[in-house]
């Protein structure tokens, strides 16, 4: 629990948190829930003295991205990037308090506490937008880090292609898809709620400014994740092009071998036939050397000359 505006952090029980929520003028409460949900457990909102009927989802495991108003309280289920996983943090904000809940260790506690002491927001709603901005920042950092990895892999594979690169590129493409799939539904529901509130005449100007800053940041983060997706697709396409180029080179070499040895195979097969002309007329050693060796050398020289005069030979020389 953080008492505002002093920024004093203390650890309290559920009963003490419930009492402070009812009396303190400005309170930030972070609730750490067990990793495994207890069956038939009393809703967290009820234990904290909040409206349990409309906020039964608060703290419940497996909730999807959410943004909604419940009377004078706004609630969110916010996705956050933690290491290689996407975790969800629940947040409730009223005029006097901000309550966040999460399963297991807090992933944003240190960053949020630092921002609170530096910026000292004047109310719970400003603190809520600070939390939402920090959650967006985790997606931005993850997208930028993955994008740099994709670009490094793309540079490496043009220098030397290795089999492990395709596995890493596939994982990074999957990473981009997970980030985008987690972020887009959340931004859509938040955009709807913020747009409705900004259309209201009683929505304060300072909160409109906070909402607009969040919307700009959200669009930039979404653009970062889409850039990561495009870069991953481009790198995979480049990898496929490199493989296709290598396969074309192999096919060209096989074509050259075929051009050289097919005439030789024909001559060998022809003179290996057992018919009267070959057995009776072509008996001398001179004829053997002229036909068996000289003719094959002539065919080889002719084949090399034809290859040298065509583009295939020059293309292979340039690739090497």
194 with 93: CB under 8 angstroms? no
| The pLDDT of residue 239 is above 60 | yes
pLDDT per position as a tens digit, 200-236: 777 778 888 888 899 999 999 999 999 999 999 998 8
Q: Could you tell me the pTM of the whole model? A: 0.74
Where residue 165 falls among pLDDT bands split at 50, 70, 90?
confident
pLDDT per position as a tens digit, 267-303: 677 667 776 666 666 666 777 677 767 777 787 787 7
CA 211 from centre of chain: 27
Side by side, the strands of the sheet bearing 27-33 are 8-9, 2-3, 27-33, 97-103, 85-93, 73-82, 66-70
Neighbours of 245 (CB within 10 A): 11
CA distances from 181 to 177, 226, 245, 263 (A): 6, 11, 34, 60
Identify the top-confidence range among 134-138, 236-240, 246-250, 279-283: 134-138
Per-residue pLDDT at 1: 47
Question: Higher model confidence: residue 143 or residue 160?
Answer: 143
pLDDT per position as a tens digit, 15-53: 887 787 777 777 788 888 877 766 667 778 888 887 666
CA dihedral (287, 291, 292, 294) positive or negative? positive
CA dihedral (150, 152, 158, 164) positive or negative? negative
| The pLDDT of residue 316 is above 90 | no
């Amino acid at each position: 629990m953080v008492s505002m505006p002093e920024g004093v952090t203390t650890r309290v029980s559920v009963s003490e948190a419930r009492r402070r929520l009812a009396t303190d003028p400005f309170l930030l409460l972070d609730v750490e829930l067990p990793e495994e949900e207890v069956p038939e457990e009393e809703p967290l909102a009820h234990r904290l003295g909040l409206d349990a009927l409309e906020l039964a989802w608060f703290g419940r495991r497996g909730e999807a991205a959410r943004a909604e108003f419940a009377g004078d309280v706004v609630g969110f289920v916010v996705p956050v990037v933690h290491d290689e996983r996407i975790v969800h943090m629940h947040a409730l904000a009223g005029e006097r308090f901000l309550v966040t809940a999460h399963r297991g260790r807090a992933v944003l506690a240190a960053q949020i506490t630092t921002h609170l002491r530096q910026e000292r927001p004047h109310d719970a709603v400003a603190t809520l937008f600070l939390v939402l901005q920090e959650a967006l920042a985790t997606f931005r950092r993850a997208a930028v880090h993955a994008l740099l990895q994709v670009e490094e892999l793309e540079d490496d594979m043009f220098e030397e292609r290795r089999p492990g690169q395709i596995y890493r590129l596939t994982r990074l493409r999957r990473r981009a898809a997970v980030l985008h799939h987690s972020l887009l539904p959340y931004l859509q529901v938040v955009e709807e709620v913020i747009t409705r509130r900004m259309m209201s005449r009683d929505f304060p100007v300072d909160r409109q400014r906070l909402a607009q800053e969040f919307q700009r940041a959200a669009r930039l983060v979404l653009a970062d994740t889409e850039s990561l997706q495009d870069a991953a697709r481009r790198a995979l396409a480049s990898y496929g092009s490199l493989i296709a180029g290598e396969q074309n080179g192999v096919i060209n070499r096989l074509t050259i071998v075929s051009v050289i040895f097919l005439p030789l195979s024909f001559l060998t097969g022809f003179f290996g036939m057992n018919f009267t002309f070959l057995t009776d007329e072509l008996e001398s050693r001179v004829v053997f050397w002229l036909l068996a060796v000289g003719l094959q050398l002539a065919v080889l020289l002719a084949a090399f000359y034809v290859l040298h005069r065509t583009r295939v030979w020059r293309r292979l020389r340039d690739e090497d």
